[in-house]
Homo-oligomer: A and B are copies of this chain.
């Protein structure tokens, strides 16, 4: 029996999610994690098991997804990164690869996540950013959207904005309490591109897309700018607006606690 020494690696990964069936591995589907695991396995000749910081849905992108897992300790990370970028680019890009402490988990060690959502607010679509922005025709009132977004900042129960996972038999429904650290829209280059950034301790399923869809309804005047407290208090999905499409969303950055995880 042969034993190989393993070491924990952290990968910083960007991808265009358009042509993937989401992030998490799923039998018979082309997913970001599936393609990555398979390719890392092919290069290292080791059946690697990777963990991601955020499970992005089908069509959602990432700039700063973080992935961890154990690799043979002799792996040359610089060469691994170069090989991955050559084999998977430009659809997936490994921006960084470093050894980290064994106790590091991309998912459980994360203390915050930031998502970015782009809206192209013009009655005519923009072909140059069609893969990464949601086209909303009617004019949006950015001030109203920011007033509403401000009411989401803080420690709240986000049940109204969460696609609820069915609890396992005999278990209580998981808590949808989350701490939103920041939520702000800004106009890029005085033009038609509106960019939303939201940071939180963590997010429940489809929370960002549900928030964006609801705030866009505020921007269209279909909801009032001061309606968020009532929407939060309602505690059911029907209180919130439509789910914004995956196209405009990207997992932008994952925060960790200082240098605790250095290898």
Contacts and interface: CB of A to CB of B under 8 A. Distances in A.
A93 B124 contact: yes
Nearest to A92: B127
B14 A126 contact: yes
Nearest to A88: B127
Nearest to A188: B189
Interface stretch (A103-111, A128-136, A196-204, A215-223): A128-136
Q: For the side of the interface on A, what is the size category?
A: 20 to 34
A180 interface: no
Nearest to A63: B128
Interface in A108-140: 124-128, 130-132, 135
A131 B130 CA distance: 11
A123 to B, nearest CB: 9
A128 B85 contact: no
A10 interface: no
A14 B128 contact: yes
Q: Does more than half of chain A's interface fall in helix, strand or loop, or is it mixed?
A: mixed
A81 B123 CA distance: 11
A257 to B, nearest CB: 25
Interface in A79-114: 81, 85, 89-95
A127 B15 contact: yes
Interface string A12-39: 0011100000000000000000000000
Contacts of A135: 90
A250 interface: yes
A262 to B, nearest CB: 21
Contacts of A91: 127, 130
A52 to B, nearest CB: 16
A91 B125 CA distance: 9
A61 interface: yes
Most buried by B among A14, A16, A125, A128: A128
Most buried by B among A92, A94, A125, A126: A125
The 6 closest A-B pairs by CB, nearest first: A90-B130, A16-B127, A90-B125, A89-B125, A95-B124, A93-B125
Contacts of A128: 14, 16, 61, 63, 132, 250
A38 to B, nearest CB: 18
A81 to B, nearest CB: 8
Contacts of A15: 127
